[in-house]
Amino acid sequence: MAQAAAIPALRTESNVNPFLPAFTLWWREVVRFYRQPARVAGVVLSPLVFWAVIGAGFGSSLQSSTTGTSNFLQYFFAGALLMIVLFTSIFTMMSVIEDRNEGFLLSVMVAPVHRSGIVLGKVLGGTTLSTIQGLLFLVFAPLIGIRLGPEQLLLVALITFLVAFALTALGFVIAWRMQSAQGFHAVINLFLIPLWMLSGALFPISGANHWLKLLMRANPLSYGMEALLQTLFPGSAPATALPLWSSIAVLSGFAAIVFVAGFIVANRRGTLPAA
Partner 1 sequence: MSGRGSAAIRLENLSHSYGKRTALKNVSFEIAEGEIFALLGPNGSGKTTLFRILSTLMLPGGGRALISGFDAANQPAQVRRRIGVVFQARSVDIKLTAVENLWHQGHLYGLRGRELKARVRLMLERVGLADRAQDRVETLSGGMQRRVELAKGLIHRPAVLLLDEPTTGLDPGARRDLWQYLHELRTQEGVSIIVTTHLMEEAERCDRLAILNLGEVVALGTPAELCSQIGGDVLMLGTTDASNLAQAIQQEFRIATSVLDGKVRLERKDGHKFVTQVMEAFPGRIDSISVSKPNLEDVFIARTGHRLWTEPEQMEND
Distance of CA 5 to the CA centre of its chain: 46
Residue 233's identity, in one-letter code, is: F
Q: Which of 47, 76, 110, 257 binds partner 1 (CB under 8 A)?
A: 110
- Non-local CB neighbours of 161 within 8 Å, separated by 6+ positions: 127, 131
Find, among 237, 235, 84, the residue nearest to 163 by Cα: 84
Based on the shown chain and the rule CB under 8 A, indicate whether residue 269 belongs to the binding site for partner 1.
yes
Based on the shown chain and the rule CB under 8 A, indicate whether residue 24 belongs to the binding site for partner 1.
yes
Q: How far is the CB of 170 from partner 1 (least distance, A)?
A: 24
Q: How far is the CB of 131 from partner 1 (least distance, A)?
A: 22
- The whole-angstrom separation of Cα 268 and Cα 270 is 7
Q: Which of 20, 48, 49, 190 binds partner 1 (CB under 8 A)?
A: 20
Q: How far is the CB of 2 from partner 1 (least distance, A)?
A: 3
Q: Which of 66, 86, 103, 204 binds partner 1 (CB under 8 A)?
A: 103
From residue 113 to residue 142, what is the string marking binding to partner 1 with x (rule CB under 8 A)?
x-----------------------------
Q: What is the DSSP string of 124-153?
A: HHHHHHHHHHHHHHGGGGGGGT----HHHH
Q: How far is the CB of 5 from partner 1 (least distance, A)?
A: 4
- The whole-angstrom separation of Cα 87 and Cα 47 is 12
Number of residues that bind partner 1 (CB under 8 A): 43
